[in-house]
Structure 1
Amino acid sequence: MATSEQDKNSSQEFWLQAAVTYSYILLWIFLSAVVIMVNKYVLTFAGFPFPIALTLTHMAFCSTLAFLIIKAGFVETVHMDSATYFRNVVPIAALFSGTLWLGNAAYLYLSVAFIQMLKATMPVTVFLVGVMLGTEKYSALYALNMVVVAIGVATASYGELNFDLIGVIFQSGSIVTESFRLCLIQLLLQARGIKLNPVTTLYYIAPACFAFLCFPFTFIELPKMMHSDGGWRLPGGWLMLSAVSAFALNMSVFLLIGRSSALTMNIAGVIKDWLLIALSVTLYGSPVGSLQLGGYGVAFLGVCWYNYQKLQGARQQTTTRQQPGDLESKPLLASTAPRR
């Protein structure tokens, strides 16, 4: 009888934890969609075509809130001396600034749907940059995957009905800077044993990003804002919603990363991409042709196969170092999983 009761309680606990985990996943997908769709609206439809100013708003808000959260003692931070900060964090912040600026600038020229399709090239650039910097090992099978993804994205680009070269250049620049940022994080932070959660990351990186973005803002966007003769307006409510959503998105990552596996997050990312394409078509009337969808489908399959191979490789490495177990059933950061 006691065993039956224990099994019942164990089953209830399992379903409760599963419900919480998938609620976090849905929250992450929802907030990701909100941030992207709101940014697109602010820059394209709300009369505020200033991507650097939008990014500055995000960084100022995130810096302030992260500072208050850490000083209030809600989240523990990592002590970092000035030498470590300037050597490790500042280069990452510079690249992150470029990622956000160029990525937001692309919304002025391209649809959300096409931007999501271009983002499928992220594994390609991360792989190439990783091989160049030594964080990835070259593999003919991985390289073949990258070729498949590149062909798919090239086909989607050829089928794009509102293709704009400037927008593609901006988005490509954002992908390249993000790839270098991810590799530098692995080289500069993980190699030195520095562990940063999303709040601490914002605490250290957001102020530096704000400082970096002030330079292009001063010389590129500020003169336009001052001499546009009322050609733009300040959508205060939308800017605040965008900033709050961006911060909440980082917090949702903090909640999610301790409870889900790498495979779960990759699947959730795929669902998010397709959702954003659908929202772009539904809300903003973005034209998407059959050739474009076919090309993105090829790239999507290539990315899925690449992720599967990476996860299999990670599982084999973990199995050789630790006791056998199913890597996909374990959280990404078990130590940060909320205790309930």
Structure 2
Amino acid sequence: MSRDLYVSSVVPIGALYSLSLWFSNSAYIYLSVSFIQMLKALIPVAVYAIGVGLKKEVFKSDVMANMITISVGVAIAAYGEVHFSVWGVFFQLSAVAFEATRRISLNPITSLYYVAPCCLAFLSIPWFYVEFPIVRETSSFHFNFPILSSNSLCAFGLNLAVFLLVGKTSALTMNVAGVVKDWLLIAFSWSFIRDTVTVVNLVGYGIAFLGVCYYNHSKYLALKSAEEKNSTQATNEEAVTRLKQTEIHAANKSKDGGQC
């Protein structure tokens, strides 16, 4: 990859990715794991809104109604949150916005190869000015290599699993699996971490969950329709090609018979 292409394509993605990581990790200081997963249901809303704003998506009233349903569900879940924090919600919503903006068509392994060094450079800036002074003043801090290395291996394993899942199935399957993962994380945080999950939380997230399922179903139908259309078009083009070849063959045969 040339330097100009790297600067114009990878550097902006690395900046957005680093902001997404920074804000999403900061949200865990203020919010529970379960509530953060509920807020992540807004990712389809952010993707669609940014896509319409950048004219990458076509505005449709039914899709917008679905996005509003998801937003209302998340708002109800936020209303029922016991440990609500304005700063935590701000950080997580900012992370959702940056995550939606940085969406690219590269697979996770290729993304890591190009984006990770750039992302590290961007993340070193807030680390040096925000976190390093705290680390320097805290004499009890020590670098725990086993925990950080095992965490890194889990993160890499996650990206590899996503790569294999998308390669064997589709990106839509990964989105559906992500919804199941959110429910499992909420159950895990409630049962093991002992996060407080209220009935209002579950009702609100249930509404958002149904909206996300409908969104994924609509994307599946649109993808299936596009595949059928492309298949029909390819079949028609193949039939036209065969007809032309038959006509040419008949014309050549007639010409050869006339010459005889």
Question: What is the deviation of 1:136?
Answer: 1.0
The residue number in structure 1 matching 2:253 is none
The residue number in structure 2 matching 1:297 is 206
Mapping 1:256-275, distance limit 5 Å: 256-275=165-184
Q: Deviations over 1:223-248 (max 9, x none)?
A: 11111243x44333221111110011
The answer (yes or no) to whether the contact 1:112–1:277 under 8 Å persists in 2 is: yes
Q: 1:151 and 2:72 equivalent?
A: yes
More helix by share: 2
Distance in 2 (CA, whole Å) between partners of 1:323 and 1:244 is: 45
Amino acid at match of 1:211: A
Q: 1:119 and 2:28 equivalent?
A: no
Q: 2:136 aligns with which of 193, 204, 226?
A: 226
The residue number in structure 2 matching 1:73 is none
Distance in 2 (CA, whole Å) between partners of 1:92 and 1:284 is: 33
The residue number in structure 2 matching 1:322 is 231
Distance in 1 (CA, whole Å) between partners of 2:112 and 2:157 is: 12
Q: 1:248 and 2:169 equivalent?
A: no
Q: Which moved more, 1:149-158 or 1:304-313?
A: 304-313
Q: 1:207 aligns with which of 117, 122, 144?
A: 117
The residue number in structure 2 matching 1:278 is 187
Query: What are structure 1's unaligned runs of at least 5 residues?
Result: 1-79, 191-195, 325-340
Amino acid at match of 1:87: S
Q: Which moved more, 1:237-246 or 1:255-264?
A: 255-264
The answer (yes or no) to whether the contact 1:100–1:174 under 8 Å persists in 2 is: yes
The verdict on how the C-alpha distance between 1:263 and 1:217 changes in structure 2, with shifts beyond 3 A counting, is closer
Distance in 1 (CA, whole Å) between partners of 2:57 and 2:173 is: 22
Q: 1:239 and 2:160 equivalent?
A: no
Question: What is the deviation of 1:110?
Answer: 0.9
Mapping 1:84-233, distance limit 5 Å: 84-182=5-103, 185=104, 196-230=106-140, 232-233=141-142
Distance in 1 (CA, whole Å) between partners of 2:113 and 2:31 is: 32
The verdict on how the C-alpha distance between 1:197 and 1:266 changes in structure 2, with shifts beyond 3 A counting, is closer
Distance in 2 (CA, whole Å) between partners of 1:255 and 1:168 is: 32
Amino acid at match of 1:300: F
Query: Who wins on radius of gyration, i.e. which is larger?
Result: 2
Q: 1:309 and 2:222 equivalent?
A: no
Distance in 2 (CA, whole Å) between partners of 1:286 and 1:235 is: 26
The answer (yes or no) to whether the contact 1:106–1:171 under 8 Å persists in 2 is: yes
Q: Deviations over 1:135-161 (max 9, x none)?
A: 211110000001100100000000001
Partner of 1:222, secondary structure, is helix
Amino acid at match of 2:34: A
Matched residue count: 234
CA RMSD in angstroms comes to 1.6
Distance in 1 (CA, whole Å) between partners of 2:186 and 2:108 is: 27
The answer (yes or no) to whether the contact 1:262–1:311 under 8 Å persists in 2 is: no
Partner of 2:208, secondary structure, is helix
Question: What is the deviation of 1:298?
Answer: 0.3
**So what's the TM-score if we normalise by structure 1?**
0.66
List structure 1 segments (4+ residues) > 6 angstroms apart after TM superposition.
none
Partner of 1:314, secondary structure, is helix
The verdict on how the C-alpha distance between 1:206 and 1:263 changes in structure 2, with shifts beyond 3 A counting, is closer
Question: What is the deviation of 1:314?
Answer: 2.0
Q: Deviations over 1:93-152 (max 9, x none)?
A: 100001111111111111110000000011111110000112211110000001100100
The answer (yes or no) to whether the contact 1:127–1:136 under 8 Å persists in 2 is: yes
Amino acid at match of 1:312: L
Mapping 1:45-64, distance limit 5 Å: none
Percent identical residues: 45
